[in-house]
Structure 1
C-alpha cells in the first residue's frame, strides 16, 4: 500500500496500474524528494507528517529520531526534532548519535532536491562539531549550493543545528560524491 503511495506521490501519477517493484519505489522516491514534497502540497498541514512517512519508508533508520520536515526547496531543507526519552543519553540531553542521524538525513534531502532522477549522491565523509547540549525542540537547516554539476564531482553540504533559543548546538559538513548523467 505504502509503495503505491510512494509511486503516486513521487511521479505525480493519478492511476498506478502496472506491477511495482519495492526497490524501484524506494529508489524513485528518494531521488525525487523535491517532487514528492510538491505533490503533497494539497495535504496542507498534514504535508510534513505525510512526507516524513515517505522518508521513513525509504530510510527506516531515520525513523528512530522522529523528525518533521518543515521546509524543502531546491538545495535547502529545514526540519525539526523534539526531545524524547528514546533519544536521550545518560546526561539528560539528546544523544550525539541521534543528532548526527538527524543532520545526515536533513542534509541528504537538501542534496537530493538539487539532483536529477538519473544522478546519484553518496556520502563519503562527515564532520560534526558540538557546541552545547541539545535539549527541547531542535531545528536543522541544510544548504547545498553545488554550482555547476557535470560528471563525477565531490561536493560539500553544510548544516546548522540550533535549539529553541536559537543557540547553535552543532555544525555539520558532509562530503558527497555526486555522479550526474
Structure 2
C-alpha cells in the first residue's frame, strides 16, 4: 500500500483484515503489516499486506519494501485533488524501486464522502494511461474493500499457477517449499493488468 498520508491506506487494510473502521486512525510510522488468510479456488492463501507511511520523512524506509512486492496498491483520496496530483511522483518511485512486472492497482478511496474532487472518469483514465487496474473504495462503508484484495489475491494465485505450468512445460523441476529452499526471482511476480 502506497500513497499520500491521510488517504486511508491503513483504514483499508484494517477493514479487510479485521473487519473494522478505526475512527481517528493515527498516521503510520514507517511500515506496518497485517496478515489475512483467504480461500482462492479451494486453496488457502496467506496475504501479507504492507502498509507504508505516506509522509515524506519515511520515504527512504518505505521504498525498500517495493522491491519484494508482488502487487502495489497506490491509493488516493477522491475528495482530495492534491492526493491525486501526487500520483505521478508515486508512480516514478514505483518504477524506480519495484519490479517492472509487479501488479499495480490504483485505488480511489473515500467514495462515501459528499465532497468528491476527482471524478471516476479521471481516475480511470489515469489508471488506463499507466497500465493499472482501477477501483474505487470506501474503507468507512466497506465498499469494494473485500473485492480489492480478493481480486489481487486471485490474480497473484493464477499467475503463480501459470508460472508453475510453464516451468513444467520447459522440463524444469519444481522443488517443494517444505523440503528444499525455493528462491523467487523478480520475474516470478505478477504481470501488469491493462
- The alignment's TM-score, normalised by the length of structure 2, stands at 0.27
- Higher relative contact order (Cα pairs below 8 Å, separated by 6+ residues): 2
Structure with greater proportional strand content? 1
